[in-house]
Structure 1
Amino acid sequence: MTHKIFNWLDIAEDFSQTLLLGNGASVAVHGEFGYSGLFEAAQVHRFIDASVQEVFTKFETNDFELVLRRLWQAKQVNTALGIAVKEVDEAYAVVRGALIKTVQKVHVSYEDAREHFEHIYKFMRRFRTVISLNYDLIVYWAAQFGNDELGSRYHFKDGFNKCVFADDWAMYREAYSGIENPTIFCYPHGNITLGMTTSLDERKLVAGSQDLLNSIIDAWDTGTRSPIFVSDGTSKQKLDAILKSDYLRSVYGGPLSEVGESLVIYGWGIAKQEEHILDRIGAATPERIAVSVYDGMQAYCEHAYRALSDLGVKDIRFFHSDSDGAWNNPVSSTSFV
């Protein structure tokens, strides 16, 4: 079956509810994000040595967040009880070191990503909700850039007030300071901006946009934050991690379950390890879904069509990922929005 692939602007007016971003959105900005997860990136760049691999093997996972969270919590308990456990401290140190090296290696700098932000925030602002499955800072940076450009921090909202999450998405959808129909953005798999404090509270780390990545790395390095993001593992492992976090559980039961009548998927492979996301979309029963397609790949169109048809979606459309106005692609002077 051959599927027609539109240009984004030909179908854009029919889609304004929810945007779901997968890893392809980040890769479009920076090629180093093109790994299946941070563990693979760490392997490619040889940050996984025998000592690090041994820790992951014992936990039977490739997920940095899961391993670090368990070791970090063990460290907090040991410290509170005055117990010195050398093996826990050493395991935490080697895994943390591998994570820091990997993120420093693969993450784009603010300066190099900046040229994309105007196009990205204009694309995101079309939607009521932006859901990012990515651990990186692209969406956050673009949203803050958009707020600055548009003259108010209430165009894009992430559910945090003074770094503290408020589990009330309806409140953040309300107009405030003269800004109607704000765009909320969230992360079902967490994000490197999020972390657990030594008092076991979940917080967002705030710093100037250009300093944010270094501030996150410093917080991990000093042990003042344990990261909250899920970048590897099976669908079941990811769902287990989601249900253990107040923020992730709120996103899973909130915005991800309320995508509305229309959904746009950009850069998401709809892979087996993310069936829990697909299940949530199906439960939300959107009437129509638009899916980005890279390089006209009909095989992906067929894969996506079958997966989404199985959810009961009747109106499934495809659009070229590099067409005008889509994600980080500018609108040319010959195009009309």
Structure 2
Amino acid sequence: MTFQQALKDSEQFKTRHALLGNGFSIACRPNIFLYGKLYEKADFSELSPYVKKAFEALSTQDFERVIKALRDTKEIIRVYRGTDTTLIEQLQKDADGLRELLVQTIAACHPAWPGEIFEHEYTACREFIGNFKTVYTLNYDLLLYWAQMHTQDGEDPNSDDGFRKPEDDFEATYVTWEPWNSKTQTMWFLHGALHLFDAGSETQKYTWINTGVRLIDQIREALNKDYYPIFVSEGTSREKYAKIKHNDYLAKGYRSFCEIGGCLFIYGHSLAANDEHFLKRIENGKLKKIYVSIFGDPNSTQNKEIIERANRMATARKYGGLEVAFYAAESAKVWG
């Protein structure tokens, strides 16, 4: 069906929610956010020469897949050759270095400031996300945040990301997230984002309004100081879930997603196995129906896999029943 037909069908439910995948960002700037483009622009010079060869050996440009392969290989070698600590340490170092390179590359390739997104694109995106009570994203970039904050002069944003001025420092150049501010929260970065930083005792968000410095420049400055954003890029679902559990913001976002009812629109996500920690929650949760976007030919290999995984969610639901429907991603016109 078309996106508009899906919206009409969803009127039977009290609430609509959205889960965004990388296709949301690709639809805006495909020359930036496709994994292949990130690979082309990544500077591997500071890593061991084996890292790039690992991409070639696996015939992939997917950072997460290589990170997973390096960590899996480390564990296998630990079993077979536990005394070979040099190789084990090198594999761990390369996996960690590759994760950090992914962060740096996304930041370096990201649009420099909100003005690089056109007005008509913001208008279309805000119309799209305005259909949903809560928007959850698995992306790390700033596009959703920029779109939510892009309002007319004097108009407050109609979304809430849960961040507020620190109670003990109203002069701070950043804002912080606390659990008690999440009751009205309508936007969640489930895997972290480039503008959210783990400051040890608190989760900080860098903002332009408090500094006059472009968000992406603040992020780059932080990266140069070896400060890294909250960024879940581990290769497997199990590893991602472990990272989520150890951060208060991410854990709360995960619990929020587990509790949603009504219906869920999934846009731009391949329902891949490395995000099973969220797909399982759909299977076992309170949602009555999910609408899954399909881009291009429904009979393509990738789309057949998406359709099969979505249908398995319905058959796996033990109580309450779960309906599945599919809509054409292009018809949503997320960015106009």
TM-score tier, shorter chain, comes to 0.7 to 0.9
SS in 2 for 1:228: strand
Structure 2 distance, partners of 1:170, 1:230, is: 20
User: Which of these residues, 38, 41, 61, is aligned with residue 45 of structure 1?
Assistant: 41
Number of the residue aligned with 2:287? 286
Matches within 5 A, 1:176-325: 184-197=186-199, 199-208=200-209, 211-223=214-226, 225-253=227-255, 255-299=256-300, 300=303, 302-312=307-317, 314-323=322-331, 325=332
Q: Which amino acid is the alignment partner of residue 202 of structure 1?
A: T
Are 1:21 and 2:16 an aligned pair?
A: no
Give unmatched runs, 5+ long, in structure 1. 1-5, 68-89, 174-183, 330-337
Q: CA deviation at 1:193?
A: 0.9
Deviation for aligned residue 1:105: 4.2
In the other structure, the counterpart of 1:114 is 118
Structure 2 gap segments, 5+ residues each? 55-63, 72-92, 166-174
Question: Structure 1 CA distance, aligned partners of 2:213 and 2:130?
Answer: 22
| Residue type of the alignment partner of 1:28 | A
Contact 2:148–2:159 under 8 Å retained in 1? yes
**Farther-moved stretch of structure 1 (206-215 vs 6-15):** 206-215
Aligned position for 2:334: 327
Q: Which residue number in structure 1 is paired with residue 141 of structure 2?
A: 136
Cα pair distance change 1:310/1:231, threshold 3 Å: farther
Deviation of residue 185 (structure 1)?
0.5
Determine what percentage of the aligned residue pairs are the same residue: 25
Distance 1:21 1:53, change over 3 A: farther
Q: 1:319 to 1:166 in 2, by over 3 A?
A: same
Q: Secondary structure at the match of 1:281?
A: helix
Aligned to 2:179: 167
- 1:165 and 1:104 mapped to 2: Cα distance? 22
After TM superposition, the score normalised by the length of structure 2 is: 0.72
Q: Which amino acid aligns with 2:259?
A: E
Q: Residue by residue, what CA displacement relative to the aligned partner does 1:40-90 show, whole Å, maximum 9, x if unpaired?
A: 765433512363567999xx99569xx9xxxxxxxxxxxxxxxxxxxxxx9
Normalising by structure 1, report the TM-score: 0.72
Q: 2:4 aligns with which of 9, 12, 16?
A: 9
Deviation at 1:316, TM superposition (A): 1.5
Please give the root-mean-square deviation of Cα atoms over the aligned residues, in Å. 3.4
Please give the secondary structure, in 2, of the residue aligned with 1:186: strand
1:170 Cα deviation after fit: 5.9
Map of 1:152 onto structure 2:
156
Q: Residue 61 and residue 305 in structure 1: after superposition, are their counterparts in 2 closer, same or farther (change >3 A)? A: closer
Q: How many residues align?
A: 279
Shift of 1:233: 0.9
One-letter identity of the residue aligned with 2:3 = W
Q: How far off is 1:118 after superposition?
A: 1.4
Amino acid at match of 2:33: F
Structure 1 SS opposite 2:241: helix
2:297 and 2:38 map into 1 onto residues whose CA distance is: 31
- Are 1:30 and 2:33 an aligned pair? no
RCO comparison, higher one (Cα < 8 Å, 6+): 1
The separation in 2 between residues aligned to 1:9 and 1:265, in whole angstroms, is 14
The one-letter amino acid of 1:51's match is L
